[in-house]
Chains A and B, each alone.
Chain A
């Protein structure tokens, strides 16, 4: 019986890690449903971006209040998690504060954790106030209802509870308090529990310890279903972020082939495919569903933390249009999850469900409202590119469906006929010289 806690701990730990691993595999499978894209170049620049943007939070602090609060929670999260290592070892081997034997440095370490825990707690409260009392506009846009709205708050509650448990655990730990080293904060919490018997204190300490580690395991598994997944994916996402100038839109190789053939006078338009080669189906142009997007775009969708900085800078959204770059990312993730679940229930094969990203999630009205101004791309603190998805979907509408708005069709006809988007004669191009 004396090993029961260790066994229970091991089971909880294995289940927690196991379920998380299972979902990570699903995540990777879903992301790989995207088209391949070569992002193997410029490794050093990519590492630099990851170090600066994800690790260094350089784009977060462009909005100083949210940026600094986020920085505290982020540093707190990383640093306090060192403690989890000790908790896991203690849990598995029945030890108590195994690292405390290193002496003074242990006190320093725990002292830092305690200070960070309080700072995180305060920051999270402020975040909650911004969301729920001040009601910052970007958290109350049309797409921020039901799950996305609750998700944002659940994360904050989780963090409040975890930090509280951590401090209570330290405050009620008589052995730790008697060391009188590192209890910089918990020594002030300890008196709240004075008068309780040693046995009760021990019970509270054990409960806090268990709830803390179980909470962490639950939170870990919550990530996959939450915007909080960004704490992991922000790193690969900033690594694979766009390196070319923001104004440069990708070149469609498949189109280049066809255009060159069209413009080559030596091509025989009636030529049969060469012997032995199968007439390949021409690649689909643009995207109508998630599988048509690149895997980096799908990674973008899972990385989005729904902060809404993109939407709050989008000229279309600011003037009341339906387009919201954040919604583009959320829709992409939701549809990708739907496709993933479809595959789960059909032995890993996707069965046509009569739905797609276009129209069922993202409407044409949203797509055509974009000015391609790159404000959303610039605003994103984790290098997400909503514009690239909008463009791919426009490409599908125009090149596969011929479904551009009538005015744009006129404009394109003008370019075809006169080499200008207006109906003027090409021979008049230099008339300005003499006007």
Chain B
């Protein structure tokens, strides 16, 4: 496509005998899902712009096992976890940043008991840190200034790990008109994809969860629904389509908003 991204792999770094500052855990969605790949690229653009010394595992990365664990397959989860931990530990990884709250939760909370101890951050936390440390400059005079934006809390970032403010801080940095849904933060409604639902049809009911959540968002009359999770992004995008509002409302990851604001 367009400009090339600088994406060193851990293997390359190891060959050069250097240890990058952070490992960017891309995750399966971020690697393969067409929509999520755009989020991955947006985040890398930010990393490149801020001259962050990072690397990815590339073809050595494998599914964290989150979805297997939540489906009840502890065997498969632990096989994935132990394989990943062996690779991460072999490279001496200390810090991990990921754009997927599911990977974030699993790496941060569920890998330590299996021998994987890392400092793990969600990409919104990391970008927030870059801005606070002055490594990334974002002005208020952005294309999003004054735009009505509502943030949908991903369950595995919010309730699961009590991270509510980092993504909102970033949105405020962009000078947007941040509007909250009636269910937000601790009481935010799930997008419907967690717990392996992403990979199956929902049980019989009278509505799809993502449609209900999209209605929550639409009550705030937003220009943009911001998320911080590739699954939420898919679900909310589908929800907006189901409501035939895709011409008026776009669904974007916080990283995409930051990157776009910088014309990256």
Interface, chain A (partner B; CB < 8 A) = 244-249, 251-252, 255-256, 258-260, 262-263, 285-286, 313, 315-316, 318-323, 365, 368-375, 377-379, 391, 393-399, 404-405, 407-408, 410-412, 415-416, 419-422, 424, 426-435
Say yes or no: is B225 at the interface (Cβ < 8 Å to chain A): no
Nearest residue, chain A, Cβ from B81: A259
- Distance, CA A431 to CA B40, complexed state (A): 11
Q: Which chain B positions have C-beta within 8 A of A428?
A: 31-32
Q: Are B72 and A256 in contact (CB under 8 A)?
A: no
Q: Are A434 and B160 in contact (CB under 8 A)?
A: no
Contacts A371-B197, A411-B196 hold; do A249 and B70 have CB atoms under 8 A apart?
Answer: yes
Q: Which chain A positions have C-beta within 8 A of B58?
A: 429-430
Q: Are A415 and B80 in contact (CB under 8 A)?
A: yes
Q: Are B192 and A320 in contact (CB under 8 A)?
A: no
Picked from B61, B74, B105, B202, the residue with its CB within 8 Å of the CB of A285 is: B74
Contacts A371-B195, A373-B194, A432-B30 hold; do A399 and B5 have CB atoms under 8 A apart?
Answer: no
Q: Are B31 and A318 in contact (CB under 8 A)?
A: no
- Distance, CA A231 to CA B87, complexed state (A): 50
Picked from A249, A258, A286, A371, the residue with its CB within 8 Å of the CB of B110 is: A249
Smallest CB separation, A385 vs chain B (Å): 13
Q: Are B73 and A412 in contact (CB under 8 A)?
A: yes
Q: Are B73 and A421 in contact (CB under 8 A)?
A: no
- Distance, CA A375 to CA B153, complexed state (A): 12
Q: Are A407 and B71 in contact (CB under 8 A)?
A: no
Q: Are A422 and B32 in contact (CB under 8 A)?
A: yes
Q: Are A316 and B205 in contact (CB under 8 A)?
A: yes
Say yes or no: is B4 at the interface (Cβ < 8 Å to chain A): yes
Nearest residue, chain A, Cβ from B110: A248
Q: Which chain A positions have C-beta within 8 A of B132?
A: none
Q: Which chain A positions have C-beta within 8 A of B114?
A: 251, 256
Say yes or no: is B56 at the interface (Cβ < 8 Å to chain A): yes
Smallest CB separation, B29 vs chain A (Å): 8
Say yes or no: is B206 at the interface (Cβ < 8 Å to chain A): yes
Smallest CB separation, A329 vs chain B (Å): 18
Q: Which chain A positions have C-beta within 8 A of B212?
A: 315, 318-319
Smallest CB separation, A45 vs chain B (Å): 15
Q: Which chain B positions have C-beta within 8 A of A379?
A: 187
- Distance, CA A139 to CA B44, complexed state (A): 50
Q: Which chain A positions have C-beta within 8 A of B213?
A: 315
Q: Which chain B positions have C-beta within 8 A of A422?
A: 28, 32-33
Contacts A255-B78, A320-B206, A420-B28 hold; do A430 and B190 have CB atoms under 8 A apart?
Answer: no
Smallest CB separation, A10 vs chain B (Å): 51
Q: Are B82 and A319 in contact (CB under 8 A)?
A: no
Smallest CB separation, A348 vs chain B (Å): 33
Say yes or no: is B254 at the interface (Cβ < 8 Å to chain A): no
Contacts A404-B71, A408-B196 hold; do A374 and B155 have CB atoms under 8 A apart?
Answer: yes
Nearest residue, chain A, Cβ from B106: A247
Q: Are A432 and B31 in contact (CB under 8 A)?
A: yes
Contacts A316-B209, A435-B37 hold; do A259 and B70 have CB atoms under 8 A apart?
Answer: no
Nearest residue, chain B, Cβ from A391: B72
Q: Which chain B positions have C-beta within 8 A of A416?
A: 76
Q: Which chain B positions have C-beta within 8 A of A393?
A: 72
- Distance, CA A142 to CA B162, complexed state (A): 32
Q: Are A394 and B155 in contact (CB under 8 A)?
A: no
Q: Are A421 and B82 in contact (CB under 8 A)?
A: no
Say yes or no: is B18 at the interface (Cβ < 8 Å to chain A): no
- Distance, CA A339 to CA B9, complexed state (A): 56
Q: Which chain B positions have C-beta within 8 A of A286?
A: 72
Q: Which chain B positions have C-beta within 8 A of A251?
A: 78, 110, 113-114
Q: Which chain B positions have C-beta within 8 A of A412?
A: 68, 71, 73, 76
Q: Which of B33-49 contact A (CB under 8 A)?
A: 33, 37, 40-41, 44
Smallest CB separation, A393 vs chain B (Å): 8
Quick one: CB contact mask for B205-222 with A, threshold 8 Å, 1 for yes? 111110111000000000
Smallest CB separation, B10 vs chain A (Å): 11
Q: Which chain A positions have C-beta within 8 A of B194?
A: 371-373
Q: Given contact pairs A316-B203, A318-B189, A420-B62, enumerate 9 new A-B contacts (beta carbons under 8 Å).
A: A247-B161, A255-B78, A372-B194, A372-B195, A404-B73, A411-B71, A426-B59, A432-B26, A432-B31
Nearest residue, chain A, Cβ from B208: A319
Q: Which chain B positions have C-beta within 8 A of A430?
A: 7, 9, 31, 56, 58-59
Q: Which chain A positions have C-beta within 8 A of B189?
A: 313, 315, 318, 375
Q: Which chain B positions have C-beta within 8 A of A411?
A: 67, 71, 196, 199-200
Say yes or no: is B156 at the interface (Cβ < 8 Å to chain A): yes
Quick one: CB contact mask for B57-101 with A, threshold 8 Å, 1 for yes? 011011101011111111110111011000000000000000000
Nearest residue, chain A, Cβ from B9: A430
Contacts A255-B78, A404-B73, A420-B32 hold; do A321 and B196 have CB atoms under 8 A apart?
Answer: no
Say yes or no: is B159 at the interface (Cβ < 8 Å to chain A): yes
Q: Are A419 and B109 in contact (CB under 8 A)?
A: no
